[in-house]
Amino acid sequence: MKEVTLGKTGITVPQNAFGALPIQRVTTEAAVSLLRRAYDGGMRFFDTARAYSDSEEKVGIAFEGMRDKVYISSKTQAKNADELWKDLETSLKMLRTDYIDIYQLHCVPKCYGPGDESGLYEALLKAKEEGMIRHIGITAHKLGVAEEIASCGLYETLQYPFSYLASDREIRLVETCEDNNVGFICMKGLAGGLINNSRAAMAFMTQYDNLVPIWGIQRDQELDEWLYYMDDTPVMDDEICDYISKERKELSGDFCRGCGYCMPCPMGITINQCARMSLMLRRAPSAAWLNDHWQTEMKKIESCVNCKSCVSKCPYELNTPELLKKNYEDYKNVLAGEVSVC
């Protein structure tokens, strides 16, 4: 596994890192064991967030006493300087440390900068000056915002969803980051569960020299899979290139990544699964998606009042009510046996 440097931060780590969002769903004991095994297997970069419930606390327990051996990034959803200071203090306490390597503004609606009314950027500079954070980063889900961040020169890293299903424009975003020496922290490398070939996903990442993927890891088996690539690192050979181009054809266009940012729905629709049901039915054994539970969930689509609250919150600017309707029609056809899936 090659090592990459995250832009101006100078942080150099193996191109295979740990996304600590899913560990909030397992016990502290299981999470600590996963994190330590990841470290033993060669991972050095761990990404968490104040918003991931007890994830920071678990990371803090796992790396207490060995803080200088790992790089930890965290995030704040603060909307002003006061909130940022409060979050930062809590994060440092939870992480059992006196510094965070990369502190990121989390899922921003715009590129915050000096002199704007939020005071966020000035607070980040001050926190860096005081040594509470070492580098300033930002995470975005909207491409236009991410493009502005990549070129503005204010941030040392950008975190953005990126996988082999990325559009040409998103690939240019990674290149712009490289040109401007901005480290690219890549989230959703499996496109929210749609990609089920980790080897191809990893091979795609290795083409870039300024990018570190953070794989969301919840189970030992998932960790084993990523650690396996530390020694046997996949490359973009002919077979993987052909596979990826087939996948890109099959999954082109607007599709729901399952991120859930559009929720909650006032009618209780599980948008992040129901809006991509057609894909899930075809990319995984379909039986689990056709059970009573999911039939009930899909039926809720009938109650959509078209309030468009989901549309305004979707970072991918999807027409979610339309997507739900299309998925529901397909689902009913599959249930009736009129369309066959795997």
Which residues are annotated as catalytic? 52
Asked if residue 278 lies in contact with residue 326, where contact means CB atoms within 8 angstroms, the answer is: yes
Q: Does 143 bind ligand SF4 (CB under 6 A)?
A: no
Q: Does 334 bind ligand SF4 (CB under 6 A)?
A: no
Region binding ligand SF4 by CB under 6 A among candidate stretches 43-51, 63-71, 228-236, 319-327: 319-327
Asked if residue 154 lies in contact with residue 181, where contact means CB atoms within 8 angstroms, the answer is: no
DSSP labels, 29-56: HHHHHHHHHHHHTT--EEE--TTSTTHH
- Residue 134 or 276 with smaller CB distance to ligand SF4: 276
Asked if residue 141 lies in contact with residue 261, where contact means CB atoms within 8 angstroms, the answer is: yes
Task: Look at the block and give the residue holding tokens 């967030």.
Answer: 49
> What string marks each residue from 235 to 274 as x (binds ligand SF4 by CB under 6 A) or -?
---------------------xxxxxxx--xxx-x-xx--
> How many residues sit close enough to ligand SF4 to count as binding (CB under 6 A)?
27
CA pair distance 57, 94, nearest whole angstrom: 5
Q: Does 314 bind ligand SF4 (CB under 6 A)?
A: yes
Q: Does 42 bind ligand SF4 (CB under 6 A)?
A: no
Long-range contacts of 127-134 (CB under 8 A, 24+ apart): 127/84, 127/85, 127/88, 127/103, 131/98, 131/99, 132/88, 132/92, 132/98, 132/99, 132/100, 132/103, 133/88, 133/99, 133/100, 133/101, 133/102, 133/103, 134/9, 134/99, 134/100, 134/101, 134/102
Q: Does 166 bind ligand SF4 (CB under 6 A)?
A: no
Which amino acid, one-letter code, is at 241? Answer: C
Q: Does residue 222 sit in helix, strand or coil?
A: helix
Closest approach, Cβ 260 to ligand SF4, in A, equals 5
- Residue 88 or 262 with smaller CB distance to ligand SF4: 262
Q: Does 305 bind ligand SF4 (CB under 6 A)?
A: yes
Region binding ligand SF4 by CB under 6 A among candidate stretches 28-36, 50-58, 168-176, 300-308: 300-308
Closest approach, Cβ 100 to ligand SF4, in A, equals 27
Q: Does 308 bind ligand SF4 (CB under 6 A)?
A: yes
Closest approach, Cβ 302 to ligand SF4, in A, equals 10
DSSP labels, 57-80: HHHHHHHTT-GGGSEEEEEE--SS
- Residue 240 or 318 with smaller CB distance to ligand SF4: 318
Q: Which of 176, 198, 286, 309 binds ligand SF4 (CB under 6 A)?
A: 309
Task: Look at the block and give the residue holding tokens 């996988």.
Answer: 163
Q: Which of 13, 318, 330, 334 binds ligand SF4 (CB under 6 A)?
A: 318
Closest approach, Cβ 317 to ligand SF4, in A, equals 8
Point out which residues bind ligand SF4 (CB under 6 A). 256-262, 265-267, 269, 271-272, 275, 304-310, 314, 316, 318, 320-321, 324
